[in-house]
Amino acid sequence: MRTMQTWKPDIESIAGPKYLAIAEALSKDIEAGRLAAGTRLPPQRALAEALSVDLTTVTRAYGEAQRLGLIEGDGRRGSFVRQKKVDTPKATYSEPVDTGMNAPPEIPGALLAAAFRQSADALLTRSDVAAPFQYQPSGGMIVAREAGADLLSARGVPCHDDTVLVTAGGQHALHAIVSAELQPGDTVAVAAHIYPGFQSVARRYGLRLFVVASDAEGLIAEALDAACAQGSVRAVYVVPTNDNPTTATMGVDRRKAIATVAQQHGLIVIEDDAYGLLPERPLPPIASFAEDRTWHIASVSKILSPGLRIAWLRAPTVAQAWRLAADVHETAIMAPPFNAAVVADWIGSGVFQQLTTAVRVEAQARQAIVAKFLDPQGFQSQPEGYHLWMPLPSDANSSEIVNTLRPHGLSVVGADVFAVDRSSGSPALRVSIGGTLSRERLERGLRLLGAMTAPNATRKISLV
């Protein structure tokens, strides 16, 4: 046993709540070998005095570290760095590549991996229930549906476990909704630029996409109302918070107005709320204003990690939910049950909220980096978001910018990928600042992006 009574972490450079900063610093020092397994940590009161923080802050930090499997307590003897159980062979993974997908930033200190490891250990060692490695009921395991219902209910979405299904990501949910509720030839109202995944679903099922005018808050309710009056609009597709790609976020009044139009015209509202939990104060979903018309999707992919492949789909009624369960089963059988059990455990224990907070803090830190290198008048973004929408001058070559930045690791996608009508529209870029990209590489990429999009930038010569 080693004693480290003088350990004093550097938390000033770590953004976010102090207790999370202490836990992150502890994780970094363990990974770096500065704190070996079996090392006794300073008493909580002593560390609180050394850092000039409240005792409760250190208590929460030690509790978080223990929850993540970094340390363990031994009564009056104190807290110790946890001994790794076994040394397993390291798997070899390919280097991350730019897929053009918008992914949340990785949480510093490997907190997500530690949280997964702890919940996985608990699930695998429970003696009262078998580990979730078998086929699950249609609609997903009950504990995961209950967890999703709790999460959505907290945001004001009327639901319970019989109206919430577990899907293998948001794209899976979109397929299921369209398959169950729409017919080939149906018209769906959308913005001029939308998530490409929904475009692919629309093509697959033969839907007609009708572009409705938008502004800084997204779809304009009056324009949607006019479109419904002029033709047979069957549904409307919206990403109400931090729209992908434009970052537009509907205010409460706009959400109520869209809900009113949906009620008046009997529209199906497909509310793809992938980013809804990112704001520190999440806005009420459209489903809370039009509960009998709205199919609401909440995914883990854009909040914590796309690798988990877990999303919740809330249907307006029990009958519709269980009709949809057949489509969910038909397209992917089930969401990954072990991952679903882990995420459900996180929701029940409060870890989900803590991890979401950590992603939010990292996104805010990256937005601060963006502000250093890009003209704030040249792009739109949300404070807790991790992508930008950057309109370009009419003579700009967006393909050249994309190709130049790709080797630098900055994920940039041209507006044409999102455009419903590719024959019209001005050039623009969606710039992702999340994923596995380090802050240092982000700075380098943004510096180059700023140079290429400056008013006096050369338009014809590639910088590669």
Over residues 133-189, the pLDDT tens digits come to 888 888 889 999 999 999 999 999 999 999 999 999 999 999 999 999 999 999 999
Q: Encode pLDDT of 188-245 as tens digits.
A: 999 999 999 999 999 999 999 999 999 999 999 999 999 999 888 999 999 999 999 9
Q: For residues 273-309, b (16+ Cβ closer than 10 Å) or e, as one string?
A: bbbbbbbeebbebbbbbbbebbbbbbbbbbbbbbebb
φ, ψ (nearest 5 deg) of residue 71: -135, 170
pLDDT band at 377 (very low <50, low <70, confident <90, very high): very high
Q: Are residues 35 and 180 in the same domain?
A: no
Q: Any idea what the Cα angle at residue 301 is, between residues 297 and 303, rounded to 5°?
A: 90
- Going by pLDDT thresholds of 50, 70 and 90, the confidence category of residue 64 is confident
The region of weakest confidence among 9-13, 31-35, 93-97, 266-270 is 93-97
Nearest CA to 179 among 298, 297, 328, 290?
328
Q: Whole-angstrom Cα distance, residue 227 to residue 251?
A: 21
Cross-strand pairs, 294: 269
Domain that holds residue 34: 2-81
Tokens of 240: 């109400």
Q: What is the pLDDT of residues 172-185, one digit of tens each?
A: 999 999 999 999 99
425/395 same-domain check: yes
In-domain check, residue 45: yes
The single residue listed with the structure tokens 């992938």 is 274
The mean predicted confidence, pLDDT, of the chain is 89
Write the CATH number for 9: 1.10.10.10
Same-domain check for residues 17 and 72: yes
Where do we find the tokens 């993540």?
68
Are β-strands 411-414 and 79-81 bridged in parallel, bridged antiparallel, or unpaired? unpaired
* Predicted confidence (pLDDT) at residue 306 exceeds the cutoff of 50: yes
| Structural Rg of the chain based on CA atoms | 24
- Residue where a domain stops, chosen among 328, 351, 374: 351
165 phi and psi, to 5 degrees?
Answer: -110, 155
Note whether 184 and 193 are within 8 A (CB). no
Q: What is the DSSP letter of 96?
A: P
Distance between CA atoms of residues 295 and 313, nearest Å: 7
Residues 242 and 310 in one domain: yes
| One domain for residues 50 and 173 | no
Q: Which helix (H) or strand (E) holds 412?
A: strand 411-414
Nearest-angstrom CA–CA distance, 414 and 451: 17
Closest by Cα among 277, 325, 279 to 142: 325
Q: Are residues 415 and 333 in the same domain?
A: no
The total number of structural domains in the chain stands at 3
363 and 340 in one domain? no
User: Which CATH number fits the domain that encloses residue 298?
Assistant: 3.40.640.10
Q: Would 244 be classed as within a structural domain?
A: yes
Name which of 33-37, 41-45, 293-297, 357-361 the model is least confident about.
Answer: 33-37
pTM of the complete model = 0.79
Q: Residue 275 pLDDT more than 60? A: yes
Q: How far is CA 351 from CA 104, 148, 389, in A?
A: 17, 14, 31
Q: For 198-209, what is each residue's pLDDT tens digit? A: 999 999 999 999
CATH code for the domain in which residue 365 is found: 3.90.1150.10
| Encoded amino acid at 448, one letter | L
What is the edge-to-edge ordering of all strands in the sheet holding 428-432? 387-391, 428-432, 411-414
Could you tell me the pLDDT band of residue 464, with boundaries at 50, 70 and 90? very low
State the pLDDT at residue 355.
96
